[in-house]
Amino acid sequence: MINHSQEFQDILNQAYEQAKKYNNDQLEPLHLLLSLTLRDNNNALPYLLEHEIDISDLQERIIANLHTDSKLILDGKVYMSNDCTQVIRTSELEARRTHSLEVGAVHLLLALLRKMMFEPENPIAAYLAKHHLDYNTLVREIDGENISDDEQPQHDTSRRDSTQTSPRNKQYRDTPTLNAYGRDLNRLASENALDPIIGRDNEIERIVQILCRRKKNNPLIIGEPGVGKTAIVEGLAQRIVAQQIPATLRGKRIIEIDMTLMVAGTKYRGQFEERMKSMLEELKQHPEIILFMDEIHNIVGAGNAEGSMDAANIIKPAMTRGEIQFIGATTSKEYTQHIEKDGALNRRFQRLRIEPTSPTDTLTILKLLQPKYEQHHHVHYSEEALNACVRMAERYITDREFPDKAIDIMDEAGARNQMTTYLTTPEIDELEKELAQLREQKQEAYRFQDSGKLASIRLREMQINKELHIMRQELYKTHEDEMPVVDTDTIARVVAISTNIPVERVANDEKQRLRTMAQELKATVIGQDAAIDAAVRCIQRNRVGIKDPQKPIGTFLFLGPTGVGKTYLTKCLAKFMFGTEDAVIRFDMSEYMERIAVTRLIGSSPGYIGYEEG
């Protein structure tokens, strides 16, 4: 059983509307072809355009050949003709022939052309043949038999529609399942679409070493969110493309699979297993492919329904036999909760723990990413701003890891400055107004099903968008020296917003604040000068770097009778350091006098409810 894609269903629904519009009591193949030409961005239109077919002219010819003199539809219903039913069945067969997972617009076009082969008197068939488009020609184009590798255009593989049959991609046509549910990291690397990776040479070399093993050659990358697990695999793909790897791995392709897409739409029992089996067969036939799955813990239980298996149990036998190579990535918490408990799955992986990058490496990463973010936001980053990104992220954002938190600050600061400036010209404004008017006219044409007007509007939209892109690029180049600069103040405001710390505290010089720390605390906490001096000296030593990085900033034991200010001093320290007295986690040890009460801190004991949750 093969599913109809949403694109196919939309074409069919619009075909019914066309039949009603032209007062036809039956749905004919011409209605399907007309509807196909009216739908924007379907994957059959490029084939028509490649043969220099005027879509508007084709629509007019189809409308002229519809049986507009048929009887009125008294009951408001349109019935599908036998010819139309046969076309839909043929499109399903074409989808199977091309190993596609769903029936799409291109399969419908194939079915229509196949029917026209047996209708020599059909004027639409003659019109298409005049433009050298028939069933056999389209089949050759889809199969890629007459296309050389040098003529292949670059397609965006980061998001593939599940119905897409690439007309010019000979290399990837044998892996439709992987193409539909994954993205090829090698291709993205060859197109320079991946960000550079710095400071992870040891980790990448370790992954290469694991992949070169004879057995258990499946790395499992474990690390906290934001440390760069996916980026490490992207760095490996960049090395493969650059041939900077051992000969054993040369020619390998890394494909990142999306398990959510694999599960989506599997309404009937066995559909998920069929997709998984199809993917494993493709991997078995193409040993050069390495499968990468981020959030790998999702395979435990994925697709599991009554009487069926989950993804983990389907993949394990293939991994044991060495038929597939697998790279997984997950967090420490998810690994403990899902992977570690499944001993059969856990033993098939070689674990690799990833630590956050150092501030120095993070700064280097920001400098390498700087040109891309400047081009995207049309701003300039000062060197002080990049240093502030690292320094303030380390100081104020403690619940996330480098380099992700520093990159986020850099990105948001660029977006903030971009909002303060908007470059435009009268010519650009006029084109944007015309584009807005065209969109309104397009909606009106859709309502009245004016196919000729729709085609002309779409053509004009394409022309305007192309002109706007060129004009904006020229405008940005002309005003490159006038671009707003992201400075330290902007970084401080972004950090203040994301952490709810007053901007004055973030922007103030920390050295000056530390010098006056003792005086400020003594003005608030009266009569505890010795305790304040001891706490301040400890914090000052830590901030100037005279500390053991593996130990806490300080451990204080405040002694004294009730009411002398022990808790108050703690709250004042928290307010000085973090801007609020609420930045304190308070334990009342009188609540932990009983033996069983310690489970509040360390979690439930084995055998009790909640133990598995940690």
Spatial contact of 285 and 174, defined as CB atoms under 8 Å apart: yes
Average pLDDT, the chain: 83
H/E element, 486: strand 485-486
- Give the closest residue to 361 by CA, choosing from 402, 397, 394, 396: 402
Average pLDDT (514-525) is 91
Select from 84, 64, 74, 82 the least CA-distant residue to 25.
74
Is 340 contained in some domain?
A: yes
Beta bridge partners of 328: 220, 293
Complete DSSP assignment for 291-312: EEEESGGGGSSTT--TT---HH
> Residue 69 above 60 pLDDT?
no
Residue 163: pLDDT band (50, 70, 90) is very low
- State residue 364's pLDDT score: 93
DSSP, residue by residue, 43-78 = TTHHHHHHTT--HHHHHHHHHHHS-TTSPP-SSS--
* Residue 450 covered by a domain: yes
Taken in order 200, 204, 207, 209, is the CA torsion positive or negative?
negative
Q: How confident is the model at residue 46 (pLDDT cuts 50, 70, 90)?
A: confident
Task: Report DSSP letters for 411-431, one per residue.
Answer: HHHHHHHHHT-----HHHHHH
Buried/exposed code over 205-236 (b: 16+ C-beta within 10 A; e: otherwise): ebbbebbeeeeebbbbbbbbebbbbbbbbbbb
Domain-embedded: residue 444:
yes
Query: Do residues 519 and 386 both lie within one domain?
Result: no
The CATH code of the domain that includes 255 is: 3.40.50.300
User: Is residue 508 within a helix (H) or strand (E), and if so which, with residue range?
Assistant: none
Q: Is residue 272 scored above 80 in pLDDT?
A: yes
Q: What whole-number distance in Å separates Cα of residue 265 and Cα of residue 15? A: 24
* Lowest-confidence segment of 27-41, 230-244, 448-462, 534-548 by average pLDDT: 448-462
pLDDT digits (tens, 9 = 90+) for 274-321: 888 889 988 988 899 999 999 998 888 765 555 556 788 889 888 888
Residues 196 and 344 in one domain: yes
Are 134 and 30 contained in the same domain? yes
Rounded mean pLDDT, 371-394: 91
Claim to verify: residue 14 and residue 124 sit in the same structural domain = yes
End residue of a domain, out of 353, 383, 402 = 353
Model confidence at 191, in pLDDT bands (50, 70, 90)?
Answer: confident
Query: Which ranges in 214-353 belong to alpha helices (H)?
Result: 229-241, 259-263, 271-285, 311-320, 332-334, 343-346
**234 shares a domain with 224:** yes
The answer to whether residues 265 and 346 belong to one domain is yes
Output the CA–CA distances (angstroms, integers) from residue 8 to 3, 43, 401, in the order listed: 10, 10, 45
Residue 160 has pLDDT above 70, yes or no: no
- Compute CA 33 distance to the chain's CA centroid, rounded to the nearest angstrom: 34
- 601 occurs within a structural domain: no
Mean pLDDT of 63-72: 64
User: Which backbone phi and psi does 200 adopt, to 5 degrees?
Assistant: -120, 25
Residue 297 lies in domain: 176-353
Residue finishing a domain among 151, 167, 199: 151
Residue 436 has pLDDT above 50, yes or no: yes
How many CB atoms sit inside 10 A of residue 136's CB? 10
Q: How far is it, in rounded angstroms, from Cα 532 to Cα 368?
A: 44
> What CATH number does the domain containing 106 carry?
1.10.1780.10
Residue 261 lies in a domain: yes
The CA-CA-CA angle for residues 199, 339, 333, to 5°, reads 60
User: pLDDT per residue over 226-256, tens digit each?
Assistant: 999 999 999 999 999 999 999 889 889 999 9
Question: In the structure, what pLDDT confidence band is assigned to residue 579 with cuts at 50, 70 and 90?
Answer: confident
